[in-house]
Chains A and B, each alone.
Chain A
């Protein structure tokens, strides 16, 4: 009898095969079952609710899952959650499909001699990976290992702890392709990584390359909607008139890569016309004299030539902001021109931080707020022992000293040079889009050991030797997610449904077992629940209460307007001049840096940005979301109408987009909503792994056109430093 044989309960193995009368009495044909039980709620009526956190992007919006007999039936955004405020976006609803996706990874995989994946047991996977890690550590030291992880509550903790236990400092996020330059540069000015613009209460807010209606966070969208309805002046400085247009009063079209010039000139106006808050600057800042001297050269006329924005507008914007101060700010941005897109991204972020400082808007109502946060306190060392201090500096830290979190791409460069031998990835698709995918895939596959932990086959997983299948976020509970905010909070991701595929494991188990296999299991001698309980207890919260409520607030740490921030800079002040930047090769004060490339002749700068229904390529394999894409033809490139006319391109045509790195064809949307010198591609498409049946072959991937080249000092990817030519190719 087959080992898969159905057996009667209570029967011994070997005597099975026959079903008795009692069992047969339970038989029901499919038709009869469907008529009787098609609607689960009618049959069972057992509805339970549980709080969890969306995994469709890094916002982690809280929601309540309605579960009927173990099956997820409905999601509703949690009112209590600070990012969701009762709403979920399209991704929040649709991404739940990942749990049952046809393309889920169901077993550990290893590449065979032909380079094809085949399933292996967990025992084999862990044993082989463990042996290889020990071999690398023995021959090259733990500094030859690297981890890239896209932060999630458990993944962030366990991935870091795993590497720390091994002695490796080389843990990176996706920051080099997102926020690295912005956060690192802002930190040089104010000592914090970012601020939250108090948009809802502002008289005026300027957004540079950021669209709340596209990189969607429900609470942020509600804030800009409220601001718009209250008559706040919302300005979008962007090469594209984005979907945030619905809440904007003004679009300032700008030549891509020149936002820095605009902000420098606006600073210059404030300083030369004495419109800045001199008392505030005197009380809170250092380096202003050097700043004032340097900024004088960046006149509005100079900036107008660089940016394509006329000098009247530049002066007006500065004047309007001065008038609105302190209830105004330049919004910090996210992944845009200050995050990672240009050679001058870091300088733009510094200039923006300085502009806000000139107007004294930090922690003022309607200004730029430095919200308090909470994190877990000290834990019992015997139960949760500290990991050893790394023996080496983080790879990339010498070449990119300004990068606060380190640059994963700097580590890739080191791997290409043979200094990194072992590559790990958790919930992060570096190969799929951090920089040029072909190059990244070649480096990852060239490592002595490469391991990817994910739910579906990504480009990164496809490049690795081993792939370990994670459960989906719905199938596991996780560690508390602490968040800063007007009132800091902690939110819980609690398991919604049973594990769908029995051979998948939740992230905490995977890293615990990996650690044991690598000989450092002593640092993981606890369960995730024990750790969650301890972390919450350390801040006075009961874990059961937290799971029941979903989100708990720390009201005693609530933010108050008017409090002077603690400037966590080396000088303890706002730094208009930074020694660290000077040592990294920049001017001490924010200064103009030319973009790495500029379009010549008929070239266009290739720019990309998010759409509200996708989180880059992570959601591209979702049938519901891709259905929206296809219904509205959202893969299309955008090109300026006047530029298109010159090339004989009409709306709806197919164009060939080309540079020395890649050539591809795509439909085109001819529009006035983009400046003449740019071609826009949405960031969500061009998935190149066939395993993603829905996503594969749809659209173009902007990263394919990008050379691997990193921003000096920060190590960011410079994702917009690519120029392309276009031509019409359809008949």
Chain B
């Protein structure tokens, strides 16, 4: 699979779940740039990722054909990506894994891992995301950077890090907001990609084991 195309998939997730500025979002969702993203999804699907093929063919991904505008993305984040509300769906991994006390809470083990990883790789995270290093935007941003640097490390990271998005998707679906389907679609692409990466990783391990026998 094309590493740059995989990076682009994570770029879009990064921007979508922590909308930063109008120009950046418009650049990402302009006709040609967005076509490039959709093309990246299809290329990955054709490149032996049948799961993604199925996902792309499903009606749920119609939302991807027409990306939300920046104001819609910003408003969605203001309603749902902020904490403490009944319609909160804050995209932080710790909130979707049971902590030491058995209950999801900020600053779980995933946050500690991501914090240490970012520090050891000497990377910087935007200030507003520093306290939640396991925010999906940070994880996706790191995935994108890794795909542009070392595909095999990126695959390793992606296969470990994004399985929580399945539970997070359930939280998104439960929101009373039509725009949720756009964000669900972004998640669906990532989940399909993750499954593909994990399958290929298991196949590779199986082959190695067969050779050893």
Contacts and interface: CB of A to CB of B under 8 A. Distances in A.
Given A2-B28, A100-B106, A623-B103, A34 B121 contact: no
B69 to A, nearest CB: 16
B126 interface: yes
Contacts of B149: 18-20, 23-24
A632 interface: no
A513 interface: no
Interface stretch (A113-121, A327-335, A715-723): A113-121
A456 interface: yes
Interface in B3-36: 7, 11, 14-15, 18, 20-21, 24, 28
B130 to A, nearest CB: 7
Nearest to A22: B122
A26 B106 contact: no
Given A500-B106, A500-B107, A116 B126 contact: no
Contacts of B142: 6
A623 B101 contact: yes
A163 B83 CA distance: 29
A646 interface: no
Interface in B56-103: 75, 77-79, 81-88, 90, 95, 99, 101-103
Contacts of A23: 121-123, 149
Interface stretch (A103-111, A307-315, A661-669): A103-111
B131 A499 contact: yes
A691 to B, nearest CB: 5
Contacts of B107: 71, 100, 500
Nearest to A29: B156
A28 B117 contact: yes
Contact of A502 (B81, B106, B130): B130
Given A103-B83, A690-B86, A31 B121 contact: no
A4 interface: yes
Contact of B78 (A22, A119, A456): A119
Contacts of B137: 2, 4
B84 A103 contact: yes
B14 to A, nearest CB: 5
A74 interface: no
A501 B82 CA distance: 11
A17 B14 CA distance: 12
Contacts of B128: 502-503
Contacts of B150: 19, 24, 27
Given A24-B121, A691-B84, A120 B145 contact: no
A11 to B, nearest CB: 9
Nearest to B144: A17
B122 A9 contact: yes
B20 A2 contact: yes
B138 A6 contact: yes
A116 B123 CA distance: 37
Contacts of B144: 5-6, 17
Interface string B106-142: 1101001100111011111111111110000110011
A102 B160 contact: no
B161 interface: yes
Contact of A33 (B11, B101, B116, B121): B116
Contacts of A104: 83-84, 106
A702 B133 CA distance: 42
A34 B105 contact: no
A3 B107 CA distance: 23
B204 interface: no
A176 B24 CA distance: 53
Interface string A458-470: 0000000000010
A387 interface: no
B95 to A, nearest CB: 5
Given A119-B81, A457-B84, A691-B85, 13 more contacts: A6-B123, A8-B122, A19-B149, A24-B150, A26-B121, A27-B150, A71-B112, A102-B83, A118-B79, A119-B78, A500-B107, A502-B127, A623-B103
22 contacts: A2-B137, A4-B14, A5-B145, A6-B141, A8-B124, A26-B117, A29-B157, A97-B101, A102-B95, A102-B103, A106-B83, A106-B90, A118-B82, A119-B82, A498-B131, A499-B131, A500-B106, A500-B131, A502-B130, A503-B128, A623-B102, A690-B86
The 3 closest A-B pairs by CB, nearest first: A3-B20, A106-B83, A26-B120
